[in-house]
Amino acid sequence: MQDPAPLITDAHDRVRDHYRPAIGRARDELTTPALLLDLETLRANLSLMEAGMRDVPTALRAHVKVHKSPHIARMEVEHGAVGVGCATVWEAIVMARAGISDVFVINEVVGPEKTRALALLAREADVKAAVDDAAQVAELSAAAVTAGSTIGVLIDVDEGMHRCGVASSEEALPLARRIADAPGLRFMGLTGYEGHCSLEFDETRRHAMAREAMGLLTGIATDLTGEGLPSQIVSAAGTGTWAVTSRYPGVTEIQPGSYATMDGHHRGLDPRFGWAVTVLATVISRRPDRVVLDAGSKTVGASHGVLKEPDLEKYRFDEEHSIFVADDRTPLTTGDKVEILCNYTPFAIGYFEAYHVLEEGRVVDIWPVMPRGPESRWLLDMLERGD
Amino acid sequence: MSSPAMTPEPEPHRVLSTPALVVDLDLFEANVAAMEALLRGTGKTVRPHVKTHRTPELARRQLGGSVVGITCATVGEAEVMVEAGFDDVLIANEVVEPGKIVRLASLARRASIAVAVDDPEPAAALSREASRVGASVGVLIDVDILLHRCGVASAEEAVALARVIGQSPGLRLRGIMGYEGRLRLGDDDRAGKIAGAYALMAKVVDALRSSGFAVAVVSGAGTSTLREALADPTVTEIQAGVYALMEPELLNLDLPFRCAVAIRGTVISRHPGRIVLDIGRRAVGVEYGPPQPIGFAATDIAISDEHTRIAMPDPLPALGSEVDMVPGQIRTTFNLHDDVWISRGGRLVDRWPIAARGSSQ
């Protein structure tokens, strides 16, 4: 892995300067609301996944859209990930500049700015993207030819979510031929995400659904191979299905993301991974029957969360506040700090610009959330300037 | 500490890239003018809540006539707004952390600042800090009139707190505030709840005045209760914010405001009977439901982290075409973006920074 480029180190310096007073402080001395990252728990999560991947024939591609952290992504590669998955071309640019050479935008990339950004990035990194339409193939090909680069292309397969993706070999085959024939593109294989399985909390049923989805995905791969278009990569899975999908014959890599940071939803699917990311809040008002915290849906996200301790019943989440039921025995008073365990961490991360990185309860560093998005077209300008 | 560290890139872009927020400035200005018309002759004012958009350039255009100050939810927002030139700011929220009290007092040396208080201890800490730096901070006693969030619950508590504040150097008791919360048209006993909330405010005001305290400001309400607040004899200023941009679920309240903001996305995938846009929950707040399409009808809308899937009848828009949607919740939406595009007469004319994005500290 190459060293991070100035894009990353400058951003790191900026947030470190900005939150300088926090560095070295204990958790309870921090200004809130603050996004906390517990380094020991993160390392344990990454080690657990690394150990799990030793026993299976697939590779790990860490999906970074969850945390948007170049620092966490680098640690994931150090723990065995072959590369990263991204949701946007902007994330791919950041991760490539973080020193990660294998970046896959596991999403359809449409529009002249985004395809140009992808093609320019492909001059400096191993760049891949997903397609489900011949028009995207033509657009990507034109962009790659103009930039003089080569983009790896995977066909997005609808494994049952009914969002993006082709649903059959009949749809996939002409698309694969088009990709193989398109200048500037390289047909790399198939990608799918069985996200519908992660809404099923019964493990037996979830695994059965995942196997059915993998049957569809690998069946299409087999059909394409029969037509002379073998897949180098067959990529799938999230944190909810990695355990079964990583063992499914014909799958070559898995693309989970939440295992690193975790949240309430994913702990319900795989409780072996721990809470690495939380939101720190302050009690700003203490009433006889409740406590009011300074973190609400504008920091924790629309999926809300629960208190790490004490175990209090949620009364309501407002934008800037969350309210929990309390009585005179509840050991919380105005000014106290509490951690909120998010039900869905990605939504919280979108509302912060930096992580407070803690080790043994003290802030050891500040890491940027990058790109903050959702739109970061300035990264295209950076590539076009040749910076 | 407050203004974001990761300031967006300096030069304005010529090209919009999706997902992007677009404010129709004609509609925004019409909403602001409609508010002015509603206020005329009432003797009341609105103190626009800028947590709605966290955008100084929009906030600036909400001032004028009787509208002279703004409302913020956090010290961080207030710092950004004072830096942008606003000189009259109410932080309609409790500030208790020592570091924030220092910042608040420091801000009060540069602008007229008021803050909500519901507890004697933070009031004492603020008094000490304001005295130390030679600042004067306005204080509104926060009254829990309905929402069961912050605030004292009774006139007795309010009077006791007023006594503490009255004897605190560096603090000026300006009055009270209370927020009844968003009350939708279909809410059970809506009229009764609003009347009860304002009756409690009136009772607190009476108790404070009979105890010898001047009450210059009675601040409360929001867009959803605007008409009731304008008709109420006690309320003096209204902390509405949404009115200038509007949210679809308030359109049935018969207010003279129209939705002025859209989230613009691109069709990135197209299948029989459905399209997929690059607008996900990482780009739009969904607390009041998914965004709604403008200019076409959908039979089903499903939003996930990075995508909105729209089921609709033919003809489907082409791959790569741009589609506008109205966000259901604009405040959590603005807080996800670095900047907002401005359109006039359907043409993009500018792009303004959401300078207080992320200023939740």
Q: Beta strands B20-24 and B45-46: pairing type?
A: unpaired
Judge: A163–B269 Cβ closer than 8 Å, yes or no. Answer: yes
SS3 annotation, A254-314: ECCCHHHHCCHHHHCCCCCCCCCEEEEEEEEEEECCEEEECCCCCCCCCCCEEECCCCCCE
Inspect the interface and report whether the beta carbons of B332 and A133 lie closer than 8 Å: no
Q: In chain B, what residues touch A316 (CB-CB under 8 Å)? A: 148-149
Q: Which residues pair with A63 in a beta bridge?
A: A85
Residue with tokens 């932080």: B91
Report the distance separating Cα B41 and Cα B255, nearest Å. Answer: 18
**Which A residues, 131 through 170, put their C-beta within 8 Å of a C-beta on chain B?**
132-133, 135-136, 139, 156, 162-165
In the prediction, which pLDDT does B35 show? 98
Is the Cβ–Cβ distance between B138 and B163 less than 8 Å? no
- Chain B residue with CA closest to A323: the answer is B149
Q: What are phi and psi of A156, to 5 degrees?
A: -80, 125
Q: What is the dihedral sign for C-alpha B274, B277, B280, B283?
A: negative
Beta bridge partners of A366: A356
Produce one character per residue of B318-349: b if its CB has 16 or more CB atoms within 10 Å, e if not.
ebbeebbbbbbbbbbbbbbbbbbbbbeeeeee
Beta bridge partners of A96: none
Chain A partners within 8 Å of B100 (Cβ): 31
How is residue B281 written in tokens? Answer: 């929950």
CA B299 to chain centre: 32
| Beta carbons of A136 and B74 less than 8 Å apart | no
Cα–Cα dist B69/B59, whole Å: 10
- Pick from B327, B307, B204: nearest CA to B262: B327
Rg of chain B (C-alpha set): 22
Q: Which residues contact B52 (CB under 8 A, 6 or more apart)?
A: B241, B242, B244, B245, B330, B331, B334
What's residue B1's pLDDT?
43
Tell me the chain A residues in contact with residue B53 when contact means C-beta distances shorter than 8 Å: none
Q: Helices A39-54 and A70-78 meet at what angle, rounded to 10? A: 40
| ipTM metric | 0.94
Closest CA to A253 of A47, A48, A53: A53
Residue A237: closest CA among A271, A210, A263, A258: A210
* Smallest Cα distance from B230 to chain A, Å: 25
Q: Would you put residue B206 in left (φ > 0), alpha (ψ -120 to 50) or beta?
A: alpha
CB A185 within 8 A of CB A212: no
Q: Hey, are the CB atoms on B144 and A287 less than 8 Å from each other?
A: yes
Contacts of B153 in chain A (CB under 8 A): 287
B212: CB partners within 8 A, 6+ apart: none
Interface test with B, best of A67, A372, A384 (most B CBs within 10 A): A372
Chain B interface includes A314 (CB < 8 A): no
Give residues with Cβ within 8 angstroms of A226, minimum separation 6: none
**Which two three-digit tokens encode residue B79?**
């710092």
- Segments in chain A below pLDDT 50: none
Q: Which of A140, A320, A344 to mutate to test the interface with B (most CBs of B within 10 A)?
A: A320
Residue with tokens 């299976």: A56
d(CA A194, CA B65): 56
Given an 8 Å threshold on Cβ–Cβ distance, is A114 in contact with B360? Answer: no
Q: Please give the C-alpha separations between residue B120 and each of B94, B142, B330, in angstroms, as whole numbers.
A: 11, 12, 34
Is residue A88 within 8 A of residue A129, CB to CB? The reply is no
Residue B114, SS3 per DSSP: strand
Which residues from chain A sit within 8 angstroms of residue B276, using beta carbons? 108, 163-164
Q: Which amino acid is at B266?
A: T
B339 to chain A: nearest residue by CA? A375
Of B4, B18, B331, the CB nearest to A375: B18
SS (H, E, C) B243-294: HHCCCHHHHHHCCCCCCCEEEEEEEEEEECCEEEECCCCCCCECCCCCCEEC
Distance from CA of B6 to the nearest CA of A (A): 7
Between the alpha carbon of residue B224 and those of residues A177, B26, B228, B286, the distances in Å are 57, 22, 9, 18
The CA-atom distances, in angstroms, between B192 and each of A68, B183, B196, B199, B233 are 47, 11, 6, 10, 16
- Whether residue B360 and residue A378 make contact (CB cut-off 8 A), yes or no, is no
Q: Is A346's CB within 8 Å of B320's CB?
A: no
A284 closest CB neighbour out of B19, B96, B144? B96
Q: What is the pTM of this model?
A: 0.96
Query: Is A33's CB within 8 Å of B319's CB?
Result: no
Instruction: Provide CB contacts within 8 A for B326, sequence distance 6+.
Output: B248, B259, B261, B262, B263, B291, B292, B294
> B5–A195: do the CB atoms touch at under 8 Å?
no
Pick from A324, A246, A249: nearest CA to A281: A324
Cα B157 to Cα B117: distance, rounded to the nearest angstrom: 12
Output the pLDDT for position B9: 46
Do β-strands B217-220 and B171-178 pair in parallel, antiparallel, or remain unpaired? parallel
| Residue A77 near residue A340, CB atoms below 8 Å | no
Q: Which residues 6+ apart lie within 8 Å of B346 measured at CB?
A: none
Q: Does A321 touch chain B (CB under 8 A)?
A: yes
Task: Output the 3-class SS for A313-378.
Answer: CEEEECCCCEEEECCCCCCCCCCCEEEEEECCHHHHHCCCCEEEEEECCEEEEEEECCCCCCCCCH
pLDDT at res. B4: 58
Look at A381 and B17 and tell me if their CB atoms are within 8 Å: no
To which residue do tokens 């049923």 refer?
A205
Q: Give how far A246 is from chain B: nearest CA, Å.
A: 23
A84 token code pair = 């990263």
DSSP state of A164: S
Note the pLDDT of residue B15.
83
Question: Which regions of chain B are under pLDDT 70?
Answer: 1-14
Q: Which of B17, B142, B223 to mutate to test the interface with A (most CBs of A within 10 A)?
A: B17
